Structure 1
Amino acid sequence: MKVIICGAGQVGWQIARHLSGEKNDVTVVDNNPELVRRATDTLDVQGIAGFASYPDILERAGARDADMIIAATHSDEVNMVTCQVAHSVFAIPRKIARLRSQSYLDAIYSDLYRRDHMPIDVVISPEREVAEAALQRLAAPAAFDTESFLNKQAQLLGIALAADCPVLDTPLRQLTDLFSTLRAIVVGIRRKGRLFAPEPGDQLFKGDQIYVFVHNEDVDRTLDIFGKPNKKQERVVIIGGGNVGLAVAMALEARVDRIRAKVIEKNRGSAERAAELLERTIVLNGDGLDAALLAEANIDRADAVLAVTDDDKTNLLVSVRAKALGCPMAICLVNDPTMVSLMGPLDIDAYINPRATTVSSILRHIRHGRVRAVYSIGDAEAEVIEAQVLSTSPISGQLIRDIGFPEGVLVGAVMKNGKVIKPEGGTRIDEGDVVALFSMAADVPEVERLLQVSIDFF
């Protein structure tokens, strides 16, 4: 597949890394020659320096015979014009654009993206993706990472194992015997910085970070088994009233189970806008690092603080200060992946990486076959792929134990006729089933082959 990626920032670079690693023909376009050079030096991609919306630049990038264009520059308008040029001049079949401005994303204007208007096949909104990720973190506060799959009937939970975890030193095979009715499977373990797909005989140790695929009805029981009782969130303080913080607060207001939220926003204009749009949420104008303002927001009585400003350092420091003032849980937004290593030493419970959520969202739309969802784990180390099984797939009609999955691939869950079941060796995979697979990055191409993806693309 020939793909043009416009924008060589973190999102564009990660997408290029994924696609070039799977032997696709990738060209990266950016008006910053240094970013283009970084991409061509570190990845197996071609690079063009120039403005992505210019027809001559797209021509040089090979737009005449491209299968897909992904517009992920920092400018919404450049991304939109790039897709228009790609459609009108070069007839590129598939066009994906990242749009940040909420005005472009309002449902009443969705007709704008028809092929005879602004021909964008898929619109990705980082703010909406991040807001959804924040809500999922709040729903399972004991987990450091979480994502929903299979029509929101199952979740992937990231759980850090402490010394008080009751099942330490227990082989996974024995866990299955002990909790035979539990619909949960450990699909990934990070130990001493290395992520791997475990074998049935592997044990769990203090300090491990595990990824568990679990049926929604068994989330609380699963967290209990791993020593992480799930506490209901009733009071939340949100630091940052921009697009992300506002989206989270509005979603909390819309929920049936009442969660009381307060928003602290430094910019007066943004604070006034948030106050106008929110009905039951208290909005405070001031610096989230101000201990007196945090006290005014009753941070010591809050169940969680959610730091989602556009500054990583502010988010980290606010989280530390809030916990020092008595808040039991801190979730923060971190754009810079090198800062993730500070989470443990700073005692921050969970983080959201907006670039990872955006990359996962884009991958969902560019994976071949009947792929319904993709979630990127860590620094693109692994993926969870949710896909519908086609009649042409080599795995259709086979028992799981007989399928030649690579060592780095595990089946997390299977949905048959709309019902999610726990997969076992004797589970038969049939046409129309939806499977959720944990796959190490190196094994993704083989997973796609097993799903017989190329037949059903476009």
Structure 2
Amino acid sequence: MKVIICGAGQVGWQIARHLSGERNDVVVVDNNPDLVRRATDSLDVQGIAGFASYPDVLEKAGARDADMIIAATYSDEVNMVTCQVAHSIFNIPRKIARLRAQSYLTAIYSDLYRRDHMPIDVVISPEKEVAEAALQRLAASSAFDSERFLGGKAQLLGLTIDADCPIVNTPLRQLSDLFSTLRSVVVGIRRDGTLFAPEPGDQLFVGDACYIMVHAEDIPRTMEIFGKAQRKQERVVVIGGGNVGLAVAKALEKSTERIRAKVIERDRKRAEVAADALERTIVLHGDGLDTGLLREAGIERADAVLCVTDDDKTNMLAAVRAKAEGCPMAIALVNDPTMVPLMEPLGVDAYINPRATTVSSILRHIRHGRVRSVYSIGDAEAEVIEAEVLSTSSLSGKTIREIDFPEGVLMGAVMKQGEVIKIKGTTRIEENDRIVLFAMAKDVPEVERLLQVSIDFF
């Protein structure tokens, strides 16, 4: 597949890394020659320096025979015009654009993206994706990572194994015997900084960060088995009133859980915009690192603090300060994956990686087979892929035991006729089943081959 990626920033670079690693023909376009050089030096991609929306630049990038264009520059308008040029001049079949401005995303204006107007097949909103991720972290208060699958009927939880975890040093195969009705599978373990897919004989040790795929109804029991207490979130302080903070605060206002939120924003104009847009939420103007302001926001009585400014260091320091003032749970927005190992020593409970959430949402639309959802773990180290099994897939008609999965791939969940079932080696995968697979990055191409369809390519 030939793909043109417009924008060689963090998101564009990650998408290029994914796709070039899977032997696609990738061309990266950016008006910053240094970013293009970084991509071509470190990845197996071609690079073109120039403005992505210019027809002659797209022509140089090989737009005439491209299968897909992904417009992920920092400008909404450039992304939109790029898709228009890709359609009108080069007739590129699939066009994905990243758009930030809320006005472009309002549902009542969705006709704008019709094929005869502004032909964009998929619109990705980073702020919307990140706000959704933040709400999921709040809902799973003891998890450092969380994502829903199978229409919300299954959930991926990232849990850190503490000394008081009842199943420390227990081989994973014994968990099935000890908890025979529990619908949960440990699909990934990070130990000493290395992520791997566990085998049945592997044990969980103190300090491990493990990823577990759980039936939604079994989440409370799974938390209990892994020694985690579920805390109810009734008071939340949001530090940062930009697009992400505002989206989270609006969602909390609409929540049926009656969550009370306060927003702290240091930029006066942005604080005023947030105050006008919110009905029940109190907006405080000032620095989220100011202890006096945190106390005014009632940080010691809050159940959680959500630090979502546009600066990683501010988010981490604000999270640490809120914890020091007595807030039991701190979630920080962190763009730089190299800062994630600092989370635990600093006492930050959970993090949101905007790059990973945006990359996940784009990958969802470019995977082969009938892929419903993709979630990228860590620094693109692994993926959790939800897909529908078609009759042309080599999985169809085989039991899980008979499927020749690569070493780094595990079956996390199976849904048959709308019901998520407990996985056994004898479980037969059939046409129209929906499955969730955990796959290390190097094994994703093989998973795609297993899911491959003969006619319905996308």
The TM tier, using the shorter chain, reads over 0.9
TM-fit CA distance, 1:422: 2.1
TM-fit CA distance, 1:93: 0.1
Which residue in the other structure is 1:74 paired with? Answer: 74
Work out the CA distance in 2 between the residues paired with 1:422 and 1:377: 24
Which residue in the other structure is 2:296 paired with? Answer: 296
State the SS of the aligned residue for 1:264: strand
Alignment of 1:37-436 (within 5 A): 37-436=37-436
TM-fit CA distance, 1:95: 0.2
Work out the CA distance in 2 between the residues paired with 1:454 and 1:17: 26
Amino acid aligned to 2:69: I
CA contact (8 A) 1:171 1:200 kept: yes
For each residue in 1:415-452, what CA deviation from the matched residue of structure 2 results, as whole angstroms up to 9, or x when unmatched?
Answer: 11111112210111110000000001111111111112
CA contact (8 A) 1:368 1:454 kept: no
State the SS of the aligned residue for 2:77: helix
Work out the CA distance in 2 between the residues paired with 1:6 and 1:455: 28
CA contact (8 A) 2:392 2:453 kept: no
CA contact (8 A) 1:238 1:262 kept: yes
Identity within the alignment, %? 79
- Give the alignment's TM-score, normalised by structure 1: 0.99
CA contact (8 A) 2:186 2:212 kept: yes
TM-fit CA distance, 1:455: 3.2
Work out the CA distance in 2 between the residues paired with 1:217 and 1:173: 22
Identify which range, 368-377 or 263-272, moves more after superposition. 263-272
Work out the CA distance in 2 between the residues paired with 1:227 and 1:369: 38
- Give the alignment's TM-score, normalised by structure 2: 0.99
For each residue in 1:308-360, what CA deviation from the matched residue of structure 2 results, as whole angstroms up to 9, or x when unmatched?
Answer: 01111111110010000000110010111121121111110000010100000
Which residue in the other structure is 2:445 paired with? Answer: 445
Large movers: runs of 4+ above 2 Å: none
Amino acid aligned to 1:146: S
For each residue in 1:375-407, what CA deviation from the matched residue of structure 2 results, as whole angstroms up to 9, or x when unmatched?
Answer: 000111100000000111111011110011111
TM-fit CA distance, 1:457: 1.5
TM-fit CA distance, 1:225: 0.9
CA contact (8 A) 2:130 2:352 kept: yes
Structure 2, unaligned runs of 5 or more: none
CA contact (8 A) 2:36 2:49 kept: yes
Q: How many residues align?
A: 458
RMSD of the TM alignment (CA)?
A: 0.8
Work out the CA distance in 1 between the residues paired with 2:453 and 2:369: 4
- Change in CA separation of 1:125 and 1:454 when aligned onto 2, cut-off 3 Å: farther
Identify which range, 22-31 or 269-278, moves more after superposition. 269-278
State the SS of the aligned residue for 2:152: coil
CA contact (8 A) 1:380 1:441 kept: yes
State the SS of the aligned residue for 1:437: strand
Amino acid aligned to 1:199: E
State the SS of the aligned residue for 1:415: strand
CA contact (8 A) 1:305 1:327 kept: yes
Work out the CA distance in 2 between the residues paired with 1:251 and 1:142: 21
State the SS of the aligned residue for 1:223: helix
Work out the CA distance in 2 between the residues paired with 1:432 and 1:172: 29
Amino acid aligned to 2:390: L
Work out the CA distance in 1 between the residues paired with 2:40 and 2:89: 26
CA contact (8 A) 1:369 1:455 kept: no
State the SS of the aligned residue for 2:345: coil
Work out the CA distance in 1 between the residues paired with 2:128 and 2:381: 24
Work out the CA distance in 2 between the residues paired with 1:14 and 1:90: 25
Amino acid aligned to 1:313: K
Work out the CA distance in 1 between the residues paired with 2:422 and 2:83: 42
TM-fit CA distance, 1:454: 5.5
CA contact (8 A) 1:8 1:35 kept: yes
Amino acid aligned to 1:161: I
TM-fit CA distance, 1:411: 0.5
Work out the CA distance in 2 between the residues paired with 1:8 and 1:272: 34
Work out the CA distance in 2 between the residues paired with 1:383 and 1:331: 22
State the SS of the aligned residue for 1:299: coil
Structure 1, unaligned runs of 5 or more: none
Amino acid aligned to 2:106: D
State the SS of the aligned residue for 2:211: strand
Work out the CA distance in 2 between the residues paired with 1:455 and 1:177: 42
State the SS of the aligned residue for 1:385: strand
Work out the CA distance in 1 between the residues paired with 2:200 and 2:126: 37
Work out the CA distance in 1 between the residues paired with 2:340 and 2:194: 15
Work out the CA distance in 1 between the residues paired with 2:257 and 2:144: 22
Work out the CA distance in 2 between the residues paired with 1:238 and 1:298: 12
Work out the CA distance in 1 between the residues paired with 2:127 and 2:440: 27
Amino acid aligned to 1:28: V
CA contact (8 A) 1:412 1:422 kept: no
CA contact (8 A) 2:392 2:454 kept: no
